[in-house]
Amino acid sequence: MSIELRWATAESITGDLEQARAAIEDCGARLPTGLDAGEVTPMLTEMLARIAETAAEVSVGLLGAVDNVRSAVAALQGADVASQQAFRPQAWW
């Protein structure tokens, strides 16, 4: 089994994940602080709280995914360098 990963592709993946996380975080700043929906105010308040909680969990998950992609890239780069050095002709003199 082999893996082909271009470094630019890996950076694109991490960039996209970071953008998604930032978009979710930006939405959190725009949550309404006061809600008046009459009789359904408690229900809507609870719904918004659950949405905010879930969005926070997704944001944390995206941060973990970014870290995992970066760690994988670092490991692949290390293996790539080690392979290049192992197969590089050595001078015998």
Q: Tens of pLDDT along 25-61?
A: 998 888 888 888 999 999 999 999 999 999 999 999 9
CA separation for the pair 13, 65 (Å, rounded): 10
pTM over 0.85: no
Residue with tokens 């659950």: 50
pLDDT at 5: 74
Q: Helix (H, G, I), strand (E, B), or coil: what is residue 37?
A: coil
Category of 9 on φ-ψ map: left (φ > 0), alpha (ψ -120 to 50) or beta? alpha
